[in-house]
A and B are shown apart, each in its own frame.
Chain A
């Protein structure tokens, strides 16, 4: 199956700092990248969708200036949580899509103290 990596797998940061999460599709080209967020004991909620070289489209209620998404290439996308607050603590999962199939990264556990 397709290989998707996320880095870091876990990160703890102080309130007010920014955190960058990288997502790489290692053996295929992702024309579209989805970013999901999952709070404890809840389902995955779609945050935003991006196509390579284009601006991301954010879901209702997700602040685009707080969650910066860069989809610079067909194999790399980054999510930057700016000025993180404790309520941003969550499990962030990237999901690259190639035509016909959607894959999921292993997730990044963000804890903001």
Chain B
């Protein structure tokens, strides 16, 4: 079953605006990761945040993690048309190391209009 649920399912913004996507999950995790996927292409790993971290930055990306609420957010600042893609969160569940499965949320389709 899907571990993560992203919202919104689709987001359309103008170039230069910020885009925020949220992800909720159900079980305890070791870490949470965000990926980007351009239409019909493979996944690109964006950022990993560990369960003991609350915020992480990478360039124009800012990820937060609230383990008490089992949620994460991805903020893309100063968006560009090239940021148009689907964004997925994926969780690495805490399982004692014997049953590792990286499971994906449903994704947010981001459209950045020039």
Contacts and interface: CB of A to CB of B under 8 A. Distances in A.
A49 B101 CA distance: 8
**Chain A interface SS verdict (over half):** strand
Nearest to A94: B42
Q: Interface extent on B, as a size class?
A: 10 to 19
A95 B102 contact: yes
A97 interface: yes
B49 to A, nearest CB: 14
Interface residues of A, number: 22
A103 to B, nearest CB: 8
Identify which of A1, A42, A44, A49 gathers the most chain B CB atoms within 10 Å of its CB: A44
B105 A43 contact: yes
A103 B43 CA distance: 9
A102 B104 CA distance: 13
B41 A43 contact: no
Contacts, number: 39
A93 B103 CA distance: 13
A67 interface: no
Given A32-B100, A34-B102, A95-B102, A44 B40 contact: no
Given A44-B88, A109-B40, A102 B106 contact: no
Interface in A36-84: 36, 41-46, 49
Interface in B60-114: 88, 100-107, 109
Contacts of A44: 43, 88, 104
Contacts of B88: 43-44
A34 B102 CA distance: 9
8 contacts: A34-B101, A44-B88, A46-B103, A93-B42, A103-B45, A104-B42, A104-B43, A104-B45
Interface of A: 1, 32, 34, 36, 41-46, 49, 91, 93, 95, 97, 102-107, 109
